[in-house]
Each structure stands twice: as structure tokens, then as C-alpha cells.
Structure 1
Amino acid sequence: MASVHKALGAITLLAIGITLTACSGSETGAGQDAPDDVDYSDIADMPHFTGPWAEEFRYAYARAATEQIRDYLRDEVITEAEKQEVTEAFRTCMVSHRLTFDDFEDGGGYTYGIAAVSSADEANEIATNCENETGVFEVVQMYFLIRANPSNEDRTPEIVACLIRSGVVPQGYPVERHMEGRIDEYALVEMNELQTTENTCNNDPDGAFRG
């Protein structure tokens, strides 16, 4: 069975959205705004988020497709049970469109089978639609981000050091370029490997690719 791997890109204060990587290439959501550039004035029930991930929760809440997803976000805590509810909803959506899906990897990436659809591009579009409908970005992505960095510290220098250590970018890869989301300009490997490695470094910047 043919399969496609997709890696969810991390939310940062400089670039926020989902980066989806398939074997055939990558797609980055268009029209992405930095959180502090988003106008939330038309969202009447926006909670007063105050924690270390408050800005990201505001953005996730604003783009949530259903009231259930908003309920998961209101307390600024994504529980294992809530993450699992979205995982099951996503799996149901994928299966209903003849794609196979097992579970999310640590960090939010995942692999799915595409044997029953006509092309990887069609499968990628289906997977993206299922993500948007079920709250994968708002719930699953936030779950892994908070677990990896509860206080939302800027780990960019450590992440860049990890990427250099892994060999997917050259020595001297600038922290500033990474903060601007320009890692693909420095990539020494194919995009799929780059995204997988970046996901690993985002989750464990100090420990990954040592020894």
C-alpha cells in the first residue's frame, strides 16, 4: 500500500499555520498571519486566555470549525482524552474517504495509506480537509506543542543547533532565518526528511541527534 507522511508545522509568534509535507512536495497554508496581526474583534465569545500559550490559543479558537473544538480550548488545557477524541474523529473522516490512518506520531506528524484513491495529491487534499474539519491543528497540534514546551519558551537557538547537528541544514544556518520560516532555503535533504527532522528537533531540541 502506498503511503504519504505529513508533518504538522509548529506554531510560532512569527509564522502560524500548518505546514503539510507529502512525498511529492509540500504545501504551506496561504494567508497566514502572525498571531498579533489577527483581528479577533468579531469573535464575541473569545475567552480571556492568559497562559503562556494564550496568543496561540486565541488563534486556534478563532479558526476552530466547531463548538466542541472551542470547548476543548477554553480552559487552555488539552487533555489526553480531548486529543484522543479528535484523533478518532480524524480517523473516521479519513476512512470515510478511503484513506487509512493509524495514529499521530509524537509531535503531530502522521502517515496514511492512499491505495484506494487516484493520487497522492488527491489524498493530501482529503487529509487536509479532514484536519480542518476535525480540529487536528487546534487540538492535536496544541497538545503536542504544550507537552514539549509547557512554558512556551523561545527554543529557537536550541532547535537550530539540533537541525545543524542532524545534518539537514549546514553549519552556520542562521537562527533569524529559521524564525522567518526560511529553512527550505538552506535544506541539504529532501523536504519530507527535512520536515520529519524539524519535527523531532521541535520536540526534543537538546537531546535529539546526539551520539
Structure 2
Amino acid sequence: MRQRVTGAIAVVPAGMAVLGALAGCSSSTPKTRQTLSLDGPWASEFQKGFADAKSEWERDVLRDGVVTATEYEQSRAHVRSCLGDAGLTIAWNGSGGFSLGSKSGSYPDDFFDRADPILQQCESQWAGWIPVLFEQVRRNPEKKDEATIQVACLEAAGLVDKTYSKQRWSRDNEKGDFPFDAMSGSARRCSLDPLSLWLTE
């Protein structure tokens, strides 16, 4: 169950693991850098995530080279609980972001400056690489070339024609400037689910 957020003020892209330190949500950092032996298209990312993990819980999730939907939701639940201990709420949306709010409904001018370090620590302890690996593997399990699948999706959606190349998409993506409305429903679907593997709406 997601908490209702009143007066949410911060909307940030999901899957961005922000690392920090703040008393209140402790982390367990290994003394030595641990590694995994995995195979598969996302093996190197899982190995890096495991080595970078700030908690044993995150390492346990990443150890087998898979982030399940249950583990993904458990990660969110832990982040929500950690924030709740500090009087904060969080709600994720289906378009790749979340809203951060106050349980008390009070939003002083320095609310985000005070809340951001808490969010960073909670994500460091309970999220780390888990969200980004779950989301990226779900949208592109075989790790196909991103430019290729984006152009194919955009063309199928009627947002670009056959002259729009992978090189052009890469340049446009780097600049964040596309020849179509990147916030339109079709464009966002291509960004989130270019292979049409999981979005049903």
C-alpha cells in the first residue's frame, strides 16, 4: 500500500540511487570490496551493484543476479519505512518519478534541504542499485542497443519517420532535445517500455 502524500514537493526520476550519510538510518559497509561471478547481459551491472552495496540486505538481493518484483517492492517498503521514521512520506508514480512529502503537512522553506539527506541515506541503505537494475532489466532484458530499440519504438508510434537514425537519436537524447514532444504519452511509453514488455495501459 502506498502512502498518500499531502503537499508533495519533490518529484525526481526513479531508479536514481542517491548515496549519503545521516544518523538515524545506519548502513553496513563491507570492509573489503566483494565481487560476484555471474553470466548474462546484465552481469557486469549486478557485479558493480554488489560491490558498491552499502548494506548486507542489498547484497543479498543482488547476489543471485536477479531483482524480483517482490524484492523491488520490499526495497520500496524499506525506503518508505526509513523515511517515515523521520516524519517523511514518499509516493512513486508510473512514469518514472516519485513525490516526497511531510507526515505533518508542514513545509518550511528549507524542507527539501532537510529532507534530501534523509532520502539519500534511506536509499543508500535500502535501494542502491536495486531499483535501476529491476527497471532496466524489465524494460530491456537482453540489453539490446538502446538507440536501436528507441528508434524502432518511436517509428512504430508514428513519432519519427524512417530517416530518423540511431545516431540522430543518440545526439538528441544527449541534448534532451527531440523533434517530437518527449512528454507525450507515446514518447514516454517508448522511454519506459521500448519493447512493449510490461506496460499495459
**Which position in structure 2 is the counterpart of 1:110?**
98
Residue 134 of structure 1, aligned match among 118, 126, 132: 126
Q: CA deviation at 1:179?
A: 4.9
Q: CA deviation at 1:64?
A: 0.9
Q: TM-score by structure 1 length?
A: 0.61
Find the aligned partners of 2:149 and 2:64 in 1 and give their Cα distance: 29
1:2 corresponds to 2:10: no
**Which position in structure 2 is the counterpart of 1:201?**
190
Find the aligned partners of 1:129 and 1:45 in 2 and give their Cα distance: 21
The amino acid across from 1:65 in the alignment is: K
Q: Judging changes above 3 Å, is the alpha-carbon distance between structure 1 residues 91 and 147 closer, same or farther for their aligned structure 2 residues? A: same
Q: Judging changes above 3 Å, is the alpha-carbon distance between structure 1 residues 97 and 116 closer, same or farther for their aligned structure 2 residues? A: farther
Q: Judging changes above 3 Å, is the alpha-carbon distance between structure 1 residues 108 and 128 closer, same or farther for their aligned structure 2 residues? A: farther
CA RMSD of aligned residues (A): 4.0
Worse-superposed segment, 71-80 or 196-205: 196-205
1:156 corresponds to 2:147: yes
Secondary structure of 2:129 counterpart: helix
Residue 85 of structure 2, aligned match among 96, 100, 111: 96
Max radius of gyration: which structure?
A: 2
1:55 corresponds to 2:27: no
Find the aligned partners of 2:85 and 2:169 in 1 and give their Cα distance: 37
Q: TM-score by structure 2 length?
A: 0.64
Secondary structure of 2:11 counterpart: strand
What are the ranges of 5 or more consecutive residues in structure 2 without an aligned counterpart? 1-5, 20-30, 197-201
Q: CA deviation at 1:70?
A: 0.6
Q: CA deviation at 1:161?
A: 6.4
Q: CA deviation at 1:176?
A: 4.6
CA displacement, residues 161-188 of structure 1 (integer Å, 9 cap, x when unaligned): 6679798xxxx98745765862336698
What are the ranges of 5 or more consecutive residues in structure 1 without an aligned counterpart? 10-17, 21-28, 30-41
Find the aligned partners of 1:116 and 1:178 in 2 and give their Cα distance: 43
Q: Judging changes above 3 Å, is the alpha-carbon distance between structure 1 residues 85 and 178 closer, same or farther for their aligned structure 2 residues? A: same
Residue 67 of structure 1, aligned match among 56, 62, 75: 56
Find the aligned partners of 1:65 and 1:187 in 2 and give their Cα distance: 41
**Which position in structure 2 is the counterpart of 1:14?**
none
